[in-house]
């Protein structure tokens, strides 16, 4: 087996060899601990029959662990300076394709068709750039790609919001959006010492496995997400008050909201954070009849 990229010494050697400095604006915090990489990859349950999609391979620390475990790795990297570095560091592996692109602009579905044909078991595994974690996760879920799930490192605070249960402080529209599509759980908490440079915030790894069907059947997904976002606009307000601001203008608005709440059997004085995702789904379907 080749020497790991993710040791402090080898990372420094690679960066010196290529005259590379980190770009903080691109969320570049490289992993320098092979143990944490083994743990992250272990959470993805990869085999040679599965494929991995990585967002932001950096200098290849996680990529090489994925290449050892999976049949194929497809990685998207925004920073052009890293392409020759990756070509060098990943030269021992013939099962990695790197696409130079901003993941938010990439046609991921087309790339999967082209690069991962024949793979049915596809996991996204990444140490995400922290300035853009939520948009990346939402893009990968909303585009309804043929992926089984995601194992990603991100800020601990966002990880807590994503995996939060009703009735907790961290529970909100982000928890609902992600848990509507996936079963999300905290997989690892990670010390700052495994990164170069060390990030300012604490980190965690979460695992999200896509549900065969979304958690609740809704008539209109966009409207469902509008209802959930509105319900948390001011956390201390009741669901009725938040919806009065969030629903479109119209005659008898308050009466119609109260009617929908009664039909969904939800007390109008409850706060958004006490409603389960199923309750939000039922409420959105009732409101849809009056406001769409
Ligand atoms: N995977 C490497 C590791 O664990 O050492 C690097 C992870 S670093 C936290 C994030 C990586 O994402 C960087 O390589 C950065 O250049 C890349 N990146 C940042 N924004 C991106 C975007 N919008 N699309 C694709 N890659 C991006």
pLDDT confidence of residue 33: 97
Q: Which is the closest atom of ligand 1 to the Cα of 106? A: 24
Taking the C-alpha atoms of residue 75 and residue 144, their distance in angstroms, rounded to an integer, is 18
Minimal-distance CA residue to ligand 1 atom 1: 57
pLDDT in tens, 102-139: 999 999 999 999 999 999 999 999 999 999 999 999 99
For residue 127, say whether it is annotated as part of any ligand binding site. yes
Interacting residues of 126 by C-beta distance below 8 A, sequence separation 6+: 53, 54, 55, 56, 62, 150, 151, 152, 153
DSSP string covering 216-265: S--S-HHHHHHHHHHHTSSTTSBHHHHHHHHSPP-TTHHHHHHHHHHHTT
Please give the distance, rounded to the nearest whole angstrom, from the Cα atom of residue 27 to the centre of ligand 1: 6
Please give the distance, rounded to the nearest whole angstrom, from the Cα atom of residue 30 to the centre of ligand 1: 9
Instruction: Tell me how far CA of residue 127 lies from CA of 188, 258, 283, in angstroms.
Output: 13, 44, 36
- Decide: helix, strand or coil at residue 272: helix
Of all residues in the chain, what percent carry a pLDDT higher than 90? 98
Please give the distance, rounded to the nearest whole angstrom, from the Cα atom of residue 5 to the centre of ligand 1: 15
Asked whether 61 lines ligand 1 (CB < 6 A), one says yes
Maximum CA pair distance of the chain? 70
Q: What is the mean pLDDT of the chain?
A: 97
Burial status of residue 212 (CB atoms within 10 A of its CB: 0-12, 13-18, 19 or more): exposed
Taking the C-alpha atoms of residue 219 and residue 67, their distance in angstroms, rounded to an integer, is 41
Burial status of residue 3 (CB atoms within 10 A of its CB: 0-12, 13-18, 19 or more): exposed
Interacting residues of 61 by C-beta distance below 8 A, sequence separation 6+: 4, 5, 6, 11, 30, 31, 32, 37, 127
Please give the distance, rounded to the nearest whole angstrom, from the Cα atom of residue 26 to the centre of ligand 1: 7
For residue 13, say whether it is annotated as part of any ligand binding site. no
Of 56, 108, 126, 130, best ligand 1 pocket probe by most atoms within 8 Å of the beta carbon: 56
pLDDT confidence of residue 1: 60
Taking the C-alpha atoms of residue 238 and residue 253, their distance in angstroms, rounded to an integer, is 16
pLDDT confidence of residue 3: 82
pLDDT in tens, 38-85: 999 999 999 999 999 999 999 999 999 999 999 999 999 999 999 999
Residue that is written with structure tokens 């609902």 in the block? 176
Minimal-distance CA residue to ligand 1 atom 17: 56
Count how many Cα atoms sit within 13 Å of the Cα of residue 136 in the half-sphere of its side chain: 26
pLDDT confidence of residue 292: 87
pLDDT in tens, 206-251: 999 999 999 999 999 999 999 999 999 999 999 999 999 999 988 8
Please give the distance, rounded to the nearest whole angstrom, from the Cα atom of residue 177 to the centre of ligand 1: 24
Q: Is the pLDDT of residue 2 over 90?
A: no
Handedness of CA 91, 79, 72, 190 (dihedral sign): positive
Q: pTM of the predicted model, to two decimals?
A: 0.96
Distance of CA 292 to the CA centre of its chain: 30
Please give the distance, rounded to the nearest whole angstrom, from the Cα atom of residue 224 to the centre of ligand 1: 32
For residue 31, say whether it is annotated as part of any ligand binding site. yes
Asked whether 129 lines ligand 1 (CB < 6 A), one says yes
Helix (H) or strand (E) holding 1: none
Q: Taking Cα atoms as reference points, which of 196, 181, 98 lies closest to residue 139?
A: 181
pLDDT in tens, 150-203: 999 999 999 999 999 999 999 999 999 999 999 999 999 999 999 999 999 999
Asked whether 29 lines ligand 1 (CB < 6 A), one says yes
Q: What is the ipTM of this complex?
A: 0.99
């Amino acid at each position: 087996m080749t020497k790991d990229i993710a040791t402090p010494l080898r990372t420094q050697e690679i960066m010196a060899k290529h005259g590379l400095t980190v770009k903080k604006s691109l969320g570049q915090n490289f992993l320098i601990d092979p143990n944490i990489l083994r743990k992250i990859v272990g959470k993805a349950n990869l085999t040679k029959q599965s494929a991995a999609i990585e967002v932001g391979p950096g200098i290849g620390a996680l990529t090489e662990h994925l290449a050892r475990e999976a049949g194929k790795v497809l990685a998207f990297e925004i920073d052009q300076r890293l392409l020759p570095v990756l070509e060098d560091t990943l030269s021992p592996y013939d099962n990695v394709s790197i696409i130079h692109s901003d993941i938010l602009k990439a046609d991921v579905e087309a790339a999967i068709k082209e690069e991962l044909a024949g793979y049915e078991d596809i996991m996204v595994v990444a140490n995400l750039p922290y300035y853009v974690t939520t948009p990346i996760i939402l893009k990968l879920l909303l585009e309804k790609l043929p992926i089984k799930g995601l194992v990603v490192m991100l800020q601990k605070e966002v990880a807590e919001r994503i995996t939060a249960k009703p009735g907790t402080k961290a529970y909100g529209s982000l928890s609902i959006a992600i848990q509507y599509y996936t079963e999300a759980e905290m997989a690892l908490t990670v010390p700052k010492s495994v990164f170069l440079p060390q990030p300012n915030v604490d980190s965690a790894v979460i695992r999200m496995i896509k549900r065969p069907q979304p958690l609740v059947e809704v008539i209109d997904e966009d409207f469902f997400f509008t209802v959930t976002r509105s319900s948390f606009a001011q956390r201390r307000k009741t669901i009725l008050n938040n919806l009065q601001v969030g629903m479109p203008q119209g005659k008898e608005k308050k009466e119609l909201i109260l009617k929908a709440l009664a039909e969904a059997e939800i007390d109008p004085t409850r706060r958004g954070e006490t409603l389960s995702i199923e309750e939000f789904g039922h409420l959105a379907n009732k409101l849809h009849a009056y406001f769409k």
